Structure 1
């Protein structure tokens, strides 16, 4: 029952449909970063089955939340008689149970609690009452499907997914909603009448990522530069001040989360957990692990296990395009208004950023790269690798290795360019040295295939021949 109003989200739609069809009650927990499209997905896909919808209000009082709950229940019952204001959550859920028990059992009934973390005000007891309601009432009705949704990743993980109390192991399905990939971004914009060449779409994606709410503010007929100018650099641009609210709306003690993001923004090669602790001045306790896990779960950073290493030696990289662009060009920018972004094109800052941003996009589209190489069906471990220079020894870093079960390794070099990328003599020597160091330090016996991942391809010259074994182009990333 895929909804043609929903772009992408194919796997999520399959999950939602399968849970709708089960012969037992379901408790579905959906979470993801702010403005990624969680509410739209549930409202649109479950439109004909939603029996009750209640949205928590950020920083609202206990009394206000109860009043909003009454209004939501009033709307659901379609009663002309006003409902009494519940004095407690216990009373509120008693009213909800009465309504629920009178619904027909031959059709799924979806109870949708949006912005779930915001409902739990201090000393309100909401979560305990919700636990009790689910365990004693809703879970007994096979046609009832309860969806709880929230942007506050730390709260959803700690209080719901890892809860040791009433909801422990009660959640029947978890969905983490991630931003659109390039192909979904193109389809979404086309559905809104915005048609751009892939190079322009790539530039936009490198600046704002695949966040639906950001993308819906793109107007047809504007160039990528005009779009970025308007959204990032004008006085009332949507994304000019988004960073100030982004992390605060998602995390408790968001200052530390922001600190990690800022450190990783200036370290495109990534940092280990210990390096992050040192750079941020954190303690070595579990709080750092919680911060990194919460940022990962929300899609802001990604952990990569280095080649021949274990999880404890993971390298964390910033994977949120918007944050990288904002910190690089917007936060301290004195240049604003029409043309502000066009004036950045010839700067070295733009060159450095575009290279890092393109790498970030490529890492997110590792599946599309494997598909373009014809190895989608081969068991493959995507990893990174770095070797620090020592006395008389060269250092080397490889941001994407595709370590394949067929004893081959694709060493991916990701290069952003507005034309055919040209391998010059100096760069060819760097490539040779990098592969030599990699083979010497890892002692690998796998076949090594130098793979160029570029926008428009790589020019075939004397430095290409005999050196490059495979290529992936920008258009492949949209597949």
Structure 2
């Protein structure tokens, strides 16, 4: 059986449920392909007595037939039970099966793709509420684990349920993609021997999604892997984009429109700008749409320095989506060698900078550790200034506002060698610091911090200007 890599905090939560003296209702949610099912199966392999998965867009009758088949498999009866006529009857079948086992040991019942079971008018959610409240919650030896890729549905219908499941979830896990450290550890466990720069390039395309990383073969370079997965006719990621969004959202075209708008603006968009770009109507529907993308991990929200929530910036956070829209969707070139040609283009340079910047935002803790401020409370954001008819505008990739009255102004640069600050760039960096200080009126001390792959070359322009450095290797630390 494949070993579970990383996920230490999540494993501890699931183990706590195992040693609990009370019934536990555990909810695990996160974007598709992130490893939710694998996590639950691995953590509860010795206690799992029944596993049932919902099917996307299946009828109630089909779901009930599948449920009966799942019960028949674990019963190992030559004559399967009758197909339940309703979910209420299905849960009674489950109770009769589980009751004797609960008297002997701790048991886990696992419902995978839970949102696909709870379609309108299916009766599933009300039946599940009754099942848990009238029976499950009273069984100290029972864990019911529910899992779903439609993260927004899980939040609205389960976590924040206002009806029979209100405050019934005892433990919840939002499963995020692997970090760079976990990605490196996972690849090593599969005997894939790549250095950090190669892994970083893959992460910029695949993100930390275990299902995608599983397709990496040993003995191939990052370029070969990207070619095979993204530019050959049978590549896993050639047509994953639309399948991904349509499997998660009922009105996926609107979600895709927002994702495409954000992909075209690496510096991000405000809510107002999203509405204008996508021709949406301001109101609760748009708010829900953006929240769904955020809860599913595709979009991140940043509050700019000294700004209020109305001026919040939204950025595309999913590496694969950004790569697909930039290079795969409109690509005429396919086949081996495609990525080698594309990776020397100008569009590659702009994409790599945006992708590396997004990864740095996800590894804030590693950046703080590298510059020695892990114990200081901070708030992170980006910052941009757009002047009127006169004056220069500027943008700060990452700003770390510290409680000790200092701010790290982070300049993020992706390159395949030491980054060199020349005279014009040094002047631009100093101007950036001056504009920020002038426009924000901040009294805090500013530290210019370079975040690069291989560091910044020592020269007269770096000395006295750069106060801190963060390297690629720092991002790979735990």
* 2:268 counterpart residue number: 270
Q: Does 2:424 match 1:419?
A: no
Provide TM-score, normalisation by structure 1.
Answer: 0.97
* 2:358 counterpart residue number: 360
Whether contact under 8 Å (1:13, 1:45) holds in the other structure is yes
Once residues 463 and 2 of structure 2 are traced to their aligned partners in structure 1, the CA distance between those partners, rounded to angstroms, is: 46
Which residue of 250, 263, 287 maps to 2:285? 287
Provide TM-score, normalisation by structure 2.
Answer: 0.97
Shift of 1:106: 5.2
- Aligned pair count? 477
Q: Does 2:380 match 1:388?
A: no
Q: Does 2:181 match 1:183?
A: yes
Shift of 1:364: 0.9
* Greater mean deviation of Cα atoms: 235-244 or 20-29: 20-29
Shift of 1:306: 0.7
* Greater mean deviation of Cα atoms: 399-408 or 232-241: 399-408
Which residue of 256, 259, 283 maps to 1:258? 256
* 1:461 counterpart residue number: 459
Q: Does 2:102 match 1:104?
A: yes
* 1:205 counterpart residue number: 203
Cα displacement string for residues 100-128 of structure 1 (whole angstroms, at most 9, x for unaligned residues): 22123453211100011112344221111
Whether contact under 8 Å (1:58, 1:118) holds in the other structure is yes
Shift of 1:251: 1.2
SS of alignment partner, residue 300 of structure 2: strand
Once residues 218 and 108 of structure 1 are traced to their aligned partners in structure 2, the CA distance between those partners, rounded to angstroms, is: 37
Once residues 302 and 119 of structure 2 are traced to their aligned partners in structure 1, the CA distance between those partners, rounded to angstroms, is: 37
Shift of 1:81: 4.2
* Greater mean deviation of Cα atoms: 68-77 or 127-136: 68-77
Once residues 253 and 163 of structure 1 are traced to their aligned partners in structure 2, the CA distance between those partners, rounded to angstroms, is: 22
* 1:369 counterpart residue number: 367
Once residues 138 and 286 of structure 1 are traced to their aligned partners in structure 2, the CA distance between those partners, rounded to angstroms, is: 35
SS of alignment partner, residue 163 of structure 2: coil
Whether contact under 8 Å (1:154, 1:251) holds in the other structure is no
Shift of 1:57: 1.5
Once residues 434 and 70 of structure 2 are traced to their aligned partners in structure 1, the CA distance between those partners, rounded to angstroms, is: 65
Whether contact under 8 Å (1:154, 1:250) holds in the other structure is no
* 1:136 counterpart residue number: 134
* 1:245 counterpart residue number: 243
Which residue of 40, 45, 48 maps to 2:46? 48
Cα displacement string for residues 328-373 of structure 1 (whole angstroms, at most 9, x for unaligned residues): 0100101110100000122111111111111111111111101111
Gaps of 5+ in 1: none
Q: Does 2:390 match 1:409?
A: no
The RMSD of aligned alpha carbons is 1.4
Whether contact under 8 Å (1:154, 1:252) holds in the other structure is no
| Residue pairs, 1:93-242, within 5 angstroms | 93-105=91-103, 107-242=105-240
* 2:448 counterpart residue number: 450
SS of alignment partner, residue 46 of structure 2: helix
Whether contact under 8 Å (1:153, 1:251) holds in the other structure is no
Gaps of 5+ in 2: none
Whether contact under 8 Å (2:102, 2:142) holds in the other structure is no
Cα displacement string for residues 364-394 of structure 1 (whole angstroms, at most 9, x for unaligned residues): 1111101111111111111221111123222
